[in-house]
Amino acid sequence: MEPDPQRKCAATAQLWVDWQAGRLRPEADAPPVARVAVAGRPARPELVPPREVPRRGLGSAAGRVALIHAVAHIEFNAVNLALDAVYRFREMPEAFAGDWLRIAAEEARHFGLVSDRLAELGRAYGDFPAHNGLWEMACKTDHDVLLRMALVPRVLEARGLDVTPGMIERLSAAGDRETVAVLEVILREEIGHVAAGSHWYAYLCRARGLEPEATFRELVKTHAPGYVQGPLHAAGRLAAGFSEMELAGLEALRHPQE
């Protein structure tokens, strides 16, 4: 619920340090989970419908800055999403909490890298409008950890695996080596984040007696139609725990007429 991005990221980093040192563990008598309709966030950026977010064409300096700001917004929300998984799904094994505390700390570091790059370009997080789609998905999945693992890391975050290589290529062509270096770090570590989602999704499917690949396709069709776009970054998704059959199924969702 901390609204200040810098304080949130510093506190998140400390949570991970404390967990690793054994100073932070779940408490049996903790207060019950509460719904978090609005996570802590600063007054800016203004939240608008997705169609009103500035275009992110990379052919101009202004377009590149808008893109970097959009990445900062994604990383800020990703901190909240990872922390919410730890807070909310306390019925999961302790290793689940450890995974998502580590991921939260990495997302916080990503936000810092992107924020620093914005500052180098004379801008700051909050200077452009943004949308609230990531947190809206958190609210839609807050009643079921399987749904959360399927739709946040394996749909929304996996989308980042698909689009980031193209962003890196276009920014390289534009000569923006500094932003490329940041995105390369993010892409490498986001593969690990999606892989954690794949691991816990598979764990939950086994526990519930569900066939994971068919279940995933049905969950995407039911809860996230239109989120699977292309082209898919097959190498990144395979490294993140998707199977060849799953990728084929996602391609079929992208091209239903075929």
92 found inside a domain: yes
pLDDT at 257: 45
Helices 177-208 and 61-88 meet at what angle, rounded to 10? 30
25 found inside a domain: no
CATH code of the domain covering residue 224: 1.20.1260.10
Q: Token digits for 103? A: 């991921």
pLDDT tier at 229, thresholds 50, 70, 90: confident
156 found inside a domain: yes
Q: Token digits for 223? A: 């809860």
> pTM (2 decimals)?
0.94
Weakest mean pLDDT among 59-73, 108-122, 136-150, 235-249: 59-73
The counts of H helices and E strands in the chain are 10, 0
* pLDDT, the chain, mean: 93
- Look at residue 248 and tell me whether its pLDDT is greater than 70: yes
239 found inside a domain: yes
63 found inside a domain: yes
103 found inside a domain: yes
pLDDT tens digit string along 208-221? Answer: 999 999 999 999 99
The residue to which tokens 């290529």 are assigned:
169
Q: Token digits for 181? A: 């270096």
Domain that holds residue 89: 5-20+45-254
pLDDT tens digit string along 77-135? Answer: 999 999 999 999 999 999 999 999 999 999 999 999 999 999 999 999 999 999 998 99
A 10 A CB-CB count for 79 gives 26
- Domains: count for the chain: 1
pLDDT at 255: 61
28 found inside a domain: no
Nearest residue to 196 (alpha-carbon basis) of 112, 104, 108: 104
- Look at residue 56 and tell me whether its pLDDT is greater than 80: no
Spatial CB neighbours of 136, under 8 Å, sequence gap ≥ 6: none
pLDDT at 51: 79
Cis peptide before 32 (omega within 30 of 0): no
14 found inside a domain: yes
The residue to which tokens 């396709």 are assigned:
217
